[in-house]
Each structure stands twice: as C-alpha cells, then as structure tokens.
Structure 1
C-alpha cells in the first residue's frame, strides 16, 4: 500500500521551518508527500534579492527548490494573497481542499494547530479551512468533487523546541530527525528571501538549537482523524488503511 502524506500550509517556507526534517525522513522512506500552499508569500521580505512586486514569484521558486531538497512530490498553490487567507471565500477554498483530499487520499494530513504556531492569521485560517475540508470530504456529498474519503490521521505541527515540560505533555508525536537535520537546514536555506527568519534560529541558545535540529513535534487531532495515535511514527498502525 502506498503511503501518502498531505501538508496544508499558508506560505512558502512554512514546510521547511516547521517540519523539514520530518518531510525528509518520510520521503526517504518512500512516503509520497504533497504540499499545498495557500499563498506565494507576496507580503514577505525581499532581503534585497528582488523588488517587492517580484517577491511572490521569487518565493514560489524558492519553495519549489526546497521541495526538491525535501523530496516532496508535488506542490499545489491555491492562489490566495499573503495575509488575505482569512478573507478567502469559504466555500471556494474548502472546495479546493476537498478536491485535493479526495484525489490524493492521504493517510496523514499535517497542518497548523488552532494557534497557527506563530499566531499568524493566515496560519490560523488555513487550520480552520483544513478542518472544514476534512469534515466535508468524508460526507457523501458533491460527488463531482471526488469520491468521499475519511481521513485516518490529522496532525498539527507544534514548536516543541520552545515548549516547557508541561506543554510537551500535550504532544502526541515526537519525530527524531537528527539524520535529516542537514537536509532540513538546506531546505530552509533555499528560502533566501527569508534571511531574517533564518537568523532568528541561528541566534537561538544552544539547547534550543540542538532540539530544533533533532526533533519535531506534533499533536494528533483526537476527534477529527479516524485513527488518532501517539508515539514516534506518524504512520504507525496505518499500514492496513485502504485508500
């Protein structure tokens, strides 16, 4: 059975900074990973690399290079503007996501949690749109959008490297990424316009930096996914799930 993972995020670079090691680990193990980006990051910094009006095109190219580094099979852009995802027509964006979910039929979807990890409003919005799409995708409605599909497992990426011990109690999956840390950093480095974000991580105190490059953290939705779990392998117990 082919293993498939669907990532749904807001901007180019979300994938590399948040879970680049996990992506590299699973693609190396043969998992087919598809990435959905709601925007091209048009409101991001240019780092002097391009003109402000060119940053969307440049960040799209950066994402495609990072995806290649990480082994991502396909990148899908939804076409919304950076910082405007909360104002996307709900039915339109949910329809797009339902079609993608029903087409790919992944065992695992990963997106941001309700807090958006950093609190960015685009991150929070894509969380809610993703949940709505997962719920609708399993219902026997809108057959022209594809055959209904019940998602086995939904996970939210969490910035566990800066969590307290108490906060870590809410984490369900801790993925060891040390062997893939170099590829994670290589993917991050492809996002050249986001030099400021890279510098923030480079300036972390040593303990946090080591944690950031050795583990990635996820919370499993215990209600929306049909087969929630806990452990060190996001695909654990999903071997027999039919697509």
Structure 2
C-alpha cells in the first residue's frame, strides 16, 4: 500500500509557493498526496483576470491545475472564507480535519508553523486547528468520525529566506528539490491571479531565488510526532501507527 502524505493549508497557492518541489519529489516516488485547503482565497487580488465575485472559483481552478502539475492525488476544500479562518467554529473545523486524518491515515502531515510562515492570520490559525485535530484524532472518542489514528510525524514548512543562519542550523529536514524545480515553477505559474506575489519574488536577490528552487525546509514537531526525526527524507523510517 502506498504511503500517504497529508498537506493542510489555508489558501490555494500555499502548496506551490511553500513546498512545491517537495510535493513533486514525493509524488514522483509514488507517495499519495492529499491537500486540504481551508479557503478558496476569494478575498485576494484578481490581477485583472476575473471579477472579484468570481475569484474563489478561479482560484479553485488554478489550484486544481497546479495540483495536476505537482502530482497531488486529491484536493479537499473545507469551505471557509478567506481571511476569516480564525473566526471559524473551532469544533467544526477540527472535526473536519479529524475525519480527514482518520480516513487517510497519513505517515506525515505538513502544515504551517505557529508563525504561519508569512504571519498571515489564516496561516497561523490553520496551524493551531491542525494540531488540535491531530491530538483528537488519536483519542477513543467520536467513533462516527472514523477509527482513531496516531500520527507518525508532523512537520511545519519553513520559509528558508526568512530564517537566520543560526535558525537554519536547527532545521530538522532540508529537502533537495533541484530536480523538481521546473515543476515547482510551473505550478506557481498556474496561480495566475497571484501575479503580484510572483513579481515580488522575481524582484528578490538572485541568491534567494537560487536557494528557493534548490531546497525546502521543514521543522518536526517532536511533541506530536510518534517518530520525530531529522535528515534529508521527511518520510524516512515511517510505518503506519494505529491505536
């Protein structure tokens, strides 16, 4: 049976910008990857591509095309409003995530860290909702939500160019993505409404851009991971763990 990776993020494009190379790498290795997205990013900018009221649908379509590029097997939208994830009913969103975790039973869950990478309130909120769901998913309660499941490994994607050298020395997983850089670029381009973000990135220092398309960084949550670890393979030494 193929190993499972579950990604939990806030908006369409988070997956491509934050860890597109890692996704493409593991998908090519036969890992089944599911992406959960809290919103459709309907409060963002349309870059002249569509009317504001059409943005959610357009961004959903962009994400599905990017997912095809990267090799994501399934995309699940939770249905919350962009920029309002912290205001979502806590038990409702946690229940949805518990159901997904118990159904998919992934070896690894990847989401944002507590700082949300960019500090976005939706990013930070999805971090805490994900942690709550992982804790609840293993408990012998709410059997109608699925069979309890203990997660082997939880990791947080980190923005390498935002980190100091001292912090980088403490990063648990550094994934080489040079071989999959073109897929990452193609996936990012599929998010056409995010033109301004793409232009902002292109204006950055060449050293930053080279690193961005060479490595992706992840911190392991040692408290919530049954099998925490470090190295160059985020799925190393993992087997399914059922309660």
TM-score, normalising length from structure 2? 0.98
Query: Could you tell me how far apart the structure 2 residues matched to 1:174 and 1:161 are?
Result: 13
Partner residue, 2:189: 189
Query: Could you tell me how far apart the structure 2 residues matched to 1:241 and 1:102 are?
Result: 12
Cα deviations across residues 44-72 of structure 1 (Å, max 9, x unaligned)? 11000000111000000000000000000
Query: Could you tell me how far apart the structure 2 residues matched to 1:122 and 1:170 are?
Result: 26
Q: 1:81-120 counterparts in 2 under 5 A?
A: 81-120=81-120
Cα deviations across residues 102-135 of structure 1 (Å, max 9, x unaligned)? 0000000000000000000000000000000000
Give the paired residue count: 242
What is the CA RMSD across the aligned residues, in angstroms?
0.8
C-alpha contact 1:162 1:208 (8 A) present in aligned 2: no
Question: Secondary structure at the residue paired with 1:42?
Answer: coil
C-alpha contact 1:41 1:55 (8 A) present in aligned 2: yes
197-206 or 93-102, larger mean C-alpha shift: 197-206
Question: Secondary structure at the residue paired with 2:169?
Answer: helix
1:241 aligns with 2:232: no
Deviation at 1:23, TM superposition (A): 0.1
Partner residue, 2:76: 76
Deviation at 1:169, TM superposition (A): 2.3
The runs of at least 4 aligned residues of structure 1 exceeding 6 Å deviation read: none
Partner residue, 1:32: 32
Query: Could you tell me how far apart the structure 1 residues matched to 2:139 and 2:180 are?
Result: 38
Deviation at 1:163, TM superposition (A): 1.9
Query: Could you tell me how far apart the structure 2 residues matched to 1:161 and 1:214 are?
Result: 12
Deviation at 1:242, TM superposition (A): 4.8
Stretches of structure 2 that go unaligned for 5 or more consecutive residues are: none
Query: Could you tell me how far apart the structure 2 residues matched to 1:225 and 1:103 are?
Result: 18
